[in-house]
Amino acid sequence: MVTYQVIAGLQPFPGENDDVIIHNVATGERPSQPPCMIEWVSDDIWNFISRCWSASRDDRPDVEFVVNVLNDATNASEASRVKSYGPMTGEKRTPAADLQ
């Protein structure tokens, strides 16, 4: 559930107390993909997150798989960032300077 909270910035079962959350998870209930994640989290990443929640240890990804997924996501993110923002100009910029 930590990945859900980190990526979505939301509690997996908002408004529920710990006992209800434990019961939900123990009976196989999992949070659905929130609308804020649908636009920018790929189906592959969402499926990966969902696999991590599997009740069966054999169905959960192993550490090597997790590392590969995170490396791939990081590389894709870096490529996207470069594509979005273009080449670096070499100028040192600060957020405060951009607001002036």
Q: Look at the pTM and tell me if it is higher than 0.85.
A: no
- Listed in sequence order, the DSSP H helices in 1-100 are 2-8, 18-26, 35-38, 43-52, 63-85, 95-99
Provide the pLDDT for residue 9.
81
pLDDT in tens, 42-66: 888 888 889 988 989 999 999 999 8
Provide the pLDDT for residue 91.
55
Provide the pLDDT for residue 98.
47
Mean pLDDT, 10 residues at a time, the chain of 100 residues: 80 89 91 80 85 91 90 70 47 51
Distance CA 47, CA 39 (A): 15
Q: What type of residue is 100?
A: Q
Provide the pLDDT for residue 43.
84
